[in-house]
C-alpha cells in the first residue's frame, strides 16, 4: 500500500489506508496468537502410553459355536452382560427407535439369500447372535464424513467416536449387516438406574452406536462382556463356551485353532467386507 505522494514529498497516510493496515495487523496478530495457542498441545505425546495389561491383537475375531446356544437361557446372559456394561437403553415404547448391540435372529434373517424351504427345522429356528462384524474392509468406515467411525490400526476394531459423530447416519446406510443403531431420542429415560454401569458413559440423542468389541475392557486386560458371560454359562452347564475370542492373525490363537478344525460361515462374505465374526452351525 503506497503512501500518497505529491510533488515528490511523501504525504502522511490517509485515514482509509490507516484503517486498512490497522485492521489487517489486528487480524493477523490476534489470529496468529490464537492459532498458535490452539494448535499447541496440552498433553505431550511422551506423557501417554498403553496399559501394559491391555489385551492386544493384530485382528480381533469371534467364533460363535451355535451348538452351545440352544435356548434363550444360553444366550440371554451374553446380551444382558453387553447391554448392562455399556448402558445400552431398553426402548420399549417404539420398536422403530430400538437400540441394540447384540441380539438373536433366525437363520433366514441372519443369512438372507441362503434360504431353503427344505432346511431342517432345527437350523431354521437357531438363535444366531448378530453383532457388528468388525469387518476387514468396512463400508461404514469408508462412508463416514468425519471419521467418527474408524478402523483402529492397532487391532482392527471398528470404533465409534461419540464426540465427533454428527448423526448423519450414512454409516447406517452403508452397513450391509444392520449392525448400527441411532439414538432417535435421549436414551437416559430408558436406562434402569439400578442396573447402570457407572464406569462407562451413556450416549446422547443424535449419535449412532454399535458394538465396539469392549475396547475399554480390552484396555484393562479383560475379555469382551459377552465372551465372559458365555464362559460363565458354559461353566454352569459343564460345556465349552459358545463365544470364542482371539487374534485371527496369530496362528496359535483359539480362533485359528477352531477355524482350522471346523467348517464356519460368515454373513454376506460375497460383499468383500471381510467380516470377523464366524458361525459354527
Partner 1 sequence: MLEKAIYGGRRYWVWVCFLLSLIGVGFLAYLYQFQNGLGVTGMSRDVSWGLYIGQFTFLVGVAASGVMVVLPYYLHDYKKFGRLTILGEFLAIAAVIMCMLFIFVDLGQPLRVLNVILHPTLNSVMFYDMLVLSGYLFLNVLIGWTVLGAERKEVPPPKWVKPFIILSIAWAPSIHTVTAFLYAGIPGRHFWLTAILAARFLASAFAGGPALLIILAMIVRKYTKFDPGKEAIQTLGKIVTYCMLINVFFLGLELFTAFYSQIPGHMHAFQYLYAGLHGHSQLVPIMWLSSILAVIALALLIFPQIRKNESLLAVACAATFFSLWIDKGFGLVIGGFVPNPFEKITEYWPTLPEALITLAVWSIGFLVLTILYKIAVSVKEEVVFDKYGERQIKAE
Partner 2 sequence: MYNGGKILLGLIIFIALVTAPFWLSGKQATAKPDPKVDTPEILKLPESARQCVESKAYMKKEHMKMLNEWRDWVVRDGVTVYTSTTGKQYTMSLQNTCMKCHSNKSKFCDECHNYASVKPYCWDCHLAPKEEGL
**Site of interaction with partner 2 (CB under 8 A):** 41-43, 47-51, 54, 87, 150, 152, 154-155, 159, 161-163, 196, 198-204, 215, 219
- In the complex, minimum distance from the CB of residue 126 to partner 2, in angstroms, rounded to a whole number: 34
Q: Which stretch binds partner 1 (CB under 8 A): 4-12, 14-22, 152-160, 264-272?
A: 264-272
Looking at beta carbons only, is 115 or 250 nearer to partner 1?
Answer: 115
CA dist 202 and 194 (Å) reads: 14
Residues 64 and 281: beta-carbon distance below 8 Å:
no
| Window 148 to 177, contacts with partner 1 (CB under 8 A) | 148, 164-170, 172-177
236 binds partner 1 (CB under 8 A): no
Binding mask 204-233 toward partner 1 (x if CB under 8 A, else -) reads -xxxx-------------------------
- In the complex, minimum distance from the CB of residue 197 to partner 1, in angstroms, rounded to a whole number: 23
| Window 82 to 101, contacts with partner 1 (CB under 8 A) | 94-99
54-72: burial string, b at 16+ Cβ within 10 Å, e else: ebebebbbbbbbbebbeee
Angle at 105 between CA 102 and CA 111, to 5 degrees: 110
Return the residue of 183, 202, 212, 276 that touches partner 1, per CB under 8 A.
Answer: 183
CA dist 169 and 194 (Å) reads: 31
Angle at 86 between CA 84 and CA 89, to 5 degrees: 70
- In the complex, minimum distance from the CB of residue 205 to partner 2, in angstroms, rounded to a whole number: 8
Looking at beta carbons only, is 63 or 171 nearer to partner 2?
Answer: 171
Q: Which helix (H) or strand (E) holds 36?
A: helix 15-39
- Please identify which residue in the block is written with the cell numbers 417404539: 94
Looking at beta carbons only, is 253 or 276 nearer to partner 1?
Answer: 276
Looking at beta carbons only, is 209 or 228 nearer to partner 2?
Answer: 209
Cα-Cα-Cα-Cα torsion 110, 113, 114, 116, nearest 10 degrees, comes to 110
User: Phi and psi of 172, rounded to 5°?
Assistant: -70, -35
Amino acid at each position: 500500500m503506497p503512501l500518497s505522494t505529491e510533488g515528490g514529498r511523501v504525504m502522511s497516510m490517509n485515514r482509509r489506508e490507516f484503517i486498512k493496515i490497522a485492521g489487517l495487523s489486528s487480524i493477523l496478530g490476534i489470529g496468529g496468537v490464537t492459532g498458535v495457542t490452539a494448535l499447541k498441545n496440552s498433553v505431550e505425546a511422551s506423557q501417554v502410553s498403553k496399559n501394559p495389561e491391555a489385551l492386544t491383537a493384530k485382528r480381533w475375531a469371534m467364533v460363535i459355536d451355535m451348538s452351545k446356544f440352544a435356548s434363550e437361557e444360553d444366550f440371554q446372559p451374553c446380551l444382558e452382560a453387553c447391554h448392562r456394561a455399556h448402558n445400552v437403553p431398553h426402548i420399549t415404547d417404539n420398536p422403530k427407535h430400538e437400540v441394540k448391540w447384540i441380539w438373536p435372529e433366525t437363520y433366514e434373517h441372519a443369512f438372507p439369500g441362503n434360504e431353503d424351504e427344505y432346511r431342517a427345522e432345527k437350523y431354521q429356528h437357531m438363535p444366531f447372535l448378530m453383532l457388528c462384524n468388525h469387518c476387514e474392509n468396512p463400508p461404514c468406515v469408508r462412508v463416514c464424513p468425519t471419521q467418527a467411525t474408524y478402523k483402529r490400526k492397532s487391532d482392527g476394531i471398528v470404533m465409534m467416536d461419540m464426540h465427533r459423530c454428527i448423526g448423519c447416519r450414512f454409516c447406517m446406510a452403508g452397513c450391509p449387516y444392520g449392525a448400527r443403531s441411532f439414538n432417535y431420542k435421549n436414551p437416559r429415560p430408558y436406562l434402569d438406574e439400578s442396573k447402570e454401569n457407572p464406569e462407562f458413559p451413556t450416549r446422547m440423542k443424535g449419535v449412532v452406536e454399535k458394538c465396539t468389541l469392549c475396547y475399554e475392557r480390552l484396555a484393562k486386560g479383560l475379555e469382551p462382556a459377552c465372551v465372559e458371560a458365555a464362559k460363565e454359562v458354559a461353566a454352569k452347564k459343564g460345556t465349552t463356551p459358545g463365544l470364542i475370542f482371539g487374534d485371527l492373525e496369530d496362528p496359535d490363537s483359539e480362533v485359528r485353532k477352531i477355524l482350522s478344525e471346523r467348517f464356519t460361515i460368515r454373513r454376506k462374505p460375497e460383499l468383500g467386507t471381510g467380516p470377523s465374526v464366524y458361525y459354527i452351525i
